[in-house]
Each structure stands twice: as C-alpha cells, then as structure tokens.
Amino acid sequence: MYKRSSELFAEAKKVIPGGVNSPVRAFNAVGGDPIYIERAEGAYLYDSDGNRYIDYINSWGPMILGHAYPPVVDAVIEKAKLGTSFGTPTEVETKIAELAIKMVPNVDKIRFVNSGTEACMSAVRLARGFTSREKIIKFAGCYHGHSDSFLIQAGSGAITFGTPNSPGVTQGTAKDTLLATFNDLESVRLLVEANKDEVACIILEPVAGNMGCIPPQNGFLEGLRRLCDENDILLLFDEVMTGFRLAPGGVQERFGVPADIVMFGKVIGGGLPVGAFAARSEIMDFLAPIGPVYQAGTLSGNPLAMAAGLAMLTELDQNRNIFKSIDEKTAYLHKGIETALAKHEVKHTINRLGSMISIHFCETEVVDFASAVHGNNHTFKEFFHGMLENGIYIAPSAFETWFITDALSYEDLDKTIEVVEKIARDL
C-alpha cells in the first residue's frame, strides 16, 4: 500500500538526517514509514503510491480554504512571472500589512519574517529590548519553534529555573526561561513574585495546539492580562496556529483579551513560508532601522509569499462566513466521533475550539501538558494507522491538534466518522 513511499524514505535517509526536514514527519511516535505526498487538492492528499486521503493536518494549519486554492495559486503564478525575489521593498508587502492590521485588534504595525519560529524568536527579543529585562515565562507543552529560549523543560518546582531539553541549548539561556503550567494562574503568579522586575514577557499559545488542542479555561487569559498590567510585563500571544483561523482577528477577537505582541504564521502565508509579529507602534518602533533592537531577513517579505498571503487574507476578510462554516463542520465532526467512540466504550476526551480539535485517549479532563500525557499512546498508534489505512490522514502524534479546512464536505466528515466507528470496534 505504501511501497513507493517506503522506497523514497529509504533514499531520503541517506542524505537527510532521519530522512525528514522536520522531526514529526518521520512517524517515530506512531511507527512505520511516512507517506510521501505528490499532490493535493481541496480536502485531499494524494501519495506516491496512488492513495487518496481526507486531510486533517492541512500543512499543519495554513490550508484553511483547502489545498491548491485557486486565488492563492493564481496570485503566486502571476507574481512569479515578474521575478521570485528582489531583496528590496515591494508594494505587496504594504498591502498585506495594511490588511492584517485591519483584521487584527490592538496592532498598529507588523514585521514579516519567514517562519513562526522567527516570529516568536524576534518577538521575545523585542520584548526584552523594550522592557530592558531578560527573563521570560513560557508554559510547559506550548511550542514556539526551535529557538534556544523555547526548548526548555521543567525544573523541580514552580519557582525553579527550567533546564535545556535539547543539546546545544546552554544553561545560561535556560536560567532566563521560567516554566509555568498552562491554565494555572497561580503557577504564573509565583514566578512573577519570585522574579520581581526581571520578567520581560509571558509567552503562550492562547489556545494550545502542541499538546493536542487545549483551550484556555475561563479567566485564564484575563488573569494573565491583569498580571502583566500589574507588573509591567508584556503579554505575547503566539497565534501561529490560531491567527486568522479562530476568527478574522484570531484569539484576541474571539476572547476579547488584548495582547502586547502577537505572532503569526501558517494561514498568513497562504501555505508559503511566512511568519510575522505585530504590536502597537511604541513597541514596534523599537525595531531596526528606527530602533535599537536588531532583526533582519534576506527573504523576509518575499513577493511570492506576500502574494499568497494577501490572496488568502483577502478571501477570509471578504467572506467572514467561512469562520462560521468551519466551526460548524468541526462541531459536527466532534459529535460524530464522540458518539462512535462512546458506542464502543473507548476511553477518550475530545477537546475542541473553533476549527481545532483533538482526541485524547484518556477519561480525565485534559487542561495542560501533565494531563495530556495521560493519554494511551498505544491506543493512539492503533487509531492513527487504522485511520491511515482507511484513507484518513491525521497528525502522526498524539500531541498535535487537527486542523479543519472549509474544503471538507459533510460527506467527507461522515466518511471520517464511519471510519472512526470501524476502528473503535477493535480498540
């Protein structure tokens, strides 16, 4: 069924570390060899062995309107005919900046980079420069890319320093990164009190997606906002996943909680490599060339990427019913999967917010990283491969959210629910 994909993976391992350019693609968490995709259209992926899959990863979020979405593809083609990169300012950069600022609350200016990792790394540097403080607070289970400051695991208690969880990350970096528990305001308050006037920013995925989908509990985001205001700390929302997906203005709009700096990726690039960070003018004007905080990128604002992003955001801005549509499809899927798993008494918890959803194979409520790891990984592996063999592609990790696209039909959703019930009989 996957003969050609396995052959391609064997070839790749000879010249690419682990055979992949991003670790989760290697299927290490679920076993077996990854499938190799040749093309995609709408809600479907087509692999090198001729198999078709209903896609619930959607390039890890960007394809909110489906793969090969014609306005995005056309925009890239037309821009490519004029040249692929100039290393100079282009008008399309200003156009997408104006549209993004129009859609997102509480921001005056935006800087484009090439990835979500770059956006988060740059935003933290900006926060440190603006506040003249060095420490940051992050949350266990929230992923902000592979910059050194973010690859930190827990220490022995709520007010201890984190320690590196990747070789190459120094102890010096770790001492400036403080680790809190998601959805636990008290853990944050203790860190702030123990490091008075030293914390530059609190950074989080306001709706977590890298320990499965975990929404903020009532009052959590509001409490963080108050803590930041009371202690002159900047609040950073990593909306690489949620931006332009959970609402036109992302989490800030959906929950009504303002951030000081917001980071974007995925949807904002229309599927091309784009990241961005945005804030009010007094913060953004600390950036070079007008401010002291340095940040640069040779391919930042690449015209192809900007054209793709502008086409995507234009469609989302002009047709805001899309957000209602994908929320309704996700709710329908949730209900169907819930019924199928419950019918066969499979232990599970389903988390959902908007068009993000995940299944945790445990009975306990999943509100943070510690509760997420209680899921039965053996059950997830069986579930993953059962879905794959039946033409459904989900993330090859129990700790990743699914991303719903508006290209999915209700027929696709019904087929998915039928497959879940089929698999549930043997779990």
pLDDT digits (tens, 9 = 90+) for 257-310: 999 999 999 999 999 999 999 999 999 999 999 999 999 999 999 999 999 999
307 and 159 part of one domain: yes
* pLDDT for the residue numbered 162: 53
Residue 149 pLDDT grade (very low, low, confident, very high; cuts 50, 70, 90): confident
Give the number of domains in the chain.
2
Write down the mean pLDDT value for the chain.
Answer: 94
102 and 182 part of one domain: yes
* pLDDT for the residue numbered 145: 87
69 tagged catalytic: no
227 and 248 part of one domain: yes
293 and 352 part of one domain: no
56 tagged catalytic: no
Residue 153 pLDDT grade (very low, low, confident, very high; cuts 50, 70, 90): low
Residue 116, both tokens: 């979500």
Model confidence at 156: pLDDT above 80: no
286 and 341 part of one domain: no
pLDDT digits (tens, 9 = 90+) for 217-259: 999 999 999 999 999 999 999 999 999 999 999 999 999 999 9
CATH, residue 391: 3.90.1150.10
Model confidence at 148: pLDDT above 90: no
pLDDT digits (tens, 9 = 90+) for 80-114: 999 999 999 999 999 999 999 999 999 999 999 99
* pLDDT for the residue numbered 124: 97
362 and 297 part of one domain: no
Rounded mean pLDDT of 165-189? Answer: 87
Distance CA 41, CA 52 (A): 10
* pLDDT for the residue numbered 384: 97
Catalytic residue among 176, 238, 260, 368: 238
Burial 279-318 (b: 16+ CB within 10 A, else e): beeebbebbeeeeebebeeeebbbbbbbbbbbbbbbbbee
Catalytic residue among 266, 329, 393, 412: 266
Catalytic residue among 2, 56, 143, 393: 143
pLDDT digits (tens, 9 = 90+) for 347-391: 999 999 999 999 999 989 999 999 998 889 899 999 999 999 999
398 and 418 part of one domain: yes
182 and 235 part of one domain: yes
Nearest to 328 by CA among 214, 410, 240, 272: 410
Residue 77, both tokens: 């083609």
Residues 6+ apart with CB under 8 A from 91: none
266 tagged catalytic: yes
218 and 303 part of one domain: yes
Provide the residue range defining the domain that includes 158: 70-318
8 and 21 part of one domain: yes
- Measured torsion, CA atoms of residues 51, 55, 57, 58, in degrees rounded to the nearest 10: 100
Model confidence at 338: pLDDT above 70: yes
